[in-house]
Each structure stands twice: as structure tokens, then as C-alpha cells.
Amino acid sequence: MPSPRGIQSIEVGGRLLQALAGSGTPMALKDLAHAAAMTPAKAHPYLVSFAKLGFVEQDEVTGRYGLGPFALQLGLIGLAQQDPVRLAFPVVEHLALQLGHTVAVAVWGEHGPVIVRVAEAPSPIHVMMRHGTVLSLTGTASGWLFAAHLDEAVVGPLRPRSMPRSEWDAEVAQVRQRGLARAVNRVVEGVSAMSAPVFDVRGRIALGLTAIGPSASFDTRWDGVVAQALRGAARSLSQRLGALVAEAA
């Protein structure tokens, strides 16, 4: 099916807004035009119109252009309309097909991580997970993910007192460093899982994307297929929620 016809001038001018958003800082006309693949003479009329609408504003001292009040207002409204769990639904469906493993969405509940969405693997051999299941804090990948990214005041009361504090701190530090949590044969022998965090505009963990499958066929490497797919999907969702996420190396 052919794509719907658009207005080319709007798409061309939109490249300037994309360049400003991608920069994160005000830009000089020359640099902004270069980033949008156009000449300064061509870029300037667009910026004049955008300034009249409040999409951009020009600093009177430096002459640099930045996003204007209307652009900021649109961004805030867009973020307010985003539902992290709803956005994650098609993502886990795609991941399950891509990886051949069950993939779930976990959020933080009163007693720990809770599964709120499950996309079952298309393969005949897969691990079942149920909606509403409360997961172990220290026995699951999802549990360690939230333990590493929530405040101590939230997760501390659920920490097993039998676990040495040094062991807890070491596990939490590894999750933060890796950007992933992993559980290999912990709760159930022969079952492994990996989980990646999705952050909101304030940098707080909004949910976890967790893949789970038979250990014999589950790639548990930190740089393996599962890890890369989860990192990429979590990064994309985080960006849609307004989080400042570093691009993959």
C-alpha cells in the first residue's frame, strides 16, 4: 500500500526541529542548518515561522536557537498521554517472536514485581508465566532488576535477612553496571531469565521487560542475542517515555 501523501515543506522544516531535539542544547544557525542537511539561507525562513508559533526561540545574546515554549508544552502533553504498560504490549509480542522465548512485562507492586502482560513463545517448548504473578525479589531476574533501580526504602524491607548485605550490594551493583538482570537456574532448575529496565522521563524505572526460557536454549550471555534484543527494546521504550538514554555503542 502506498504511503499517504504529506506536505513536503513541513517535512523539510521538521528536520530542523528534529536536529534541535537531538542536540539537546541551543544551536547556531550554521550548525543547525548543517544538522538538518540544508543551507542557512534555506533554514532561516523556517526558523522565523517556527519562532512565531513558539516551536523555537532565539537567544537575544548568543543568537542560538532552542526549542520554544509551545514545543515544550507539546512534549509535556505527549508524555502525560503515554502509558508505559500499553506501549510495552506490542514490544513484548515482537520480542517473543524474535527470540522464541516467552517475554513478559513486570511492574512494581505492593509485595514485589508483578507480571502484568505475557507474550508466549511460538515454539512448542517454552516456559509459562501468568498475569498477576508476584515474583521473588532475589530469585528472579525481574526481582533483581527492581532491587537495583528502586530506592532502598522501597525494596529494603523485602530483602531476605538471611542474605548477607555484601552479597546484596554486589548483585545490585552488577545489575546497574550491566544494565540487565539475569537469573540462571535459580527458582526452577533448567529455567533461565533476563530482564531489562524501562525508565520514565524522571529517570525512574517504569517497568521491566523479562525474557524467560529453558536454560538449554536460552542465551544467557551478557552480550548475547537475548541481552541485545532486550537492551534495544528497553532503550526504545525509555526514549518514548522521555528518558535520557545513551545510545548503544
| Number of Cβ within a 10 Å radius of residue 10 | 9
The pLDDT value given to residue 71: 78
Give the rounded percent of residues in the chain with a pLDDT score beyond 70.
91
Q: Which helix (H) or strand (E) holds 196?
A: strand 191-199
Digit-coded pLDDT (tens) for 118-139: 998 777 655 667 777 888 898 8
64-82: pLDDT as tens digits: 998 888 877 766 555 455 5
CA distance 79 to 140: 30
Domain range 82-240, CATH architecture = 2-Layer Sandwich (3.30)
Position 11 confidence tier, pLDDT thresholds 50, 70, 90: confident
What does the angle CA 140 – CA 222 – CA 174 come to, to the nearest 5 degrees? 60
pLDDT of amino acid 249: 44
Any alpha helices (H) in 1-151, and if so which ranges? 8-23, 29-35, 40-53, 69-81, 84-99, 141-149
Write down the H helix ranges in 100-224. 141-149, 152-155, 165-178
Residue 142 near residue 181, CB atoms below 8 Å:
yes
- CATH code at 8-80: 1.10.10.10
Question: Which burial class, exposed, middle or buried, applies to 44 when counting CB atoms under 10 A from its CB (0-12, 13-18, 19+)?
Answer: middle
Q: Average pLDDT of 221-248? A: 88
CA dihedral angle for residue 33, residue 39, residue 41, residue 46, rounded to 10 degrees: -50
Domain boundaries, the chain: 8-80, 82-240
The answer to whether 90 and 105 are in contact (CB under 8 A) is no
User: 87 or 224: which carries more pLDDT confidence?
Assistant: 224
Res. 35: pLDDT tops 80: yes
Q: Report the C-alpha gap between 249 and 228 in whole angstroms.
A: 12
Rounded Cα distance, 27 and 67, in Å: 10
Higher pLDDT, 41 or 74: 41
Instruction: Examine domains 8-80 and 82-240 and report if their fold is the same.
Output: no
Better-predicted residue by pLDDT, 216 or 126: 216
The whole-number pLDDT of residue 120 equals 87
Mean pLDDT of 32-59: 91
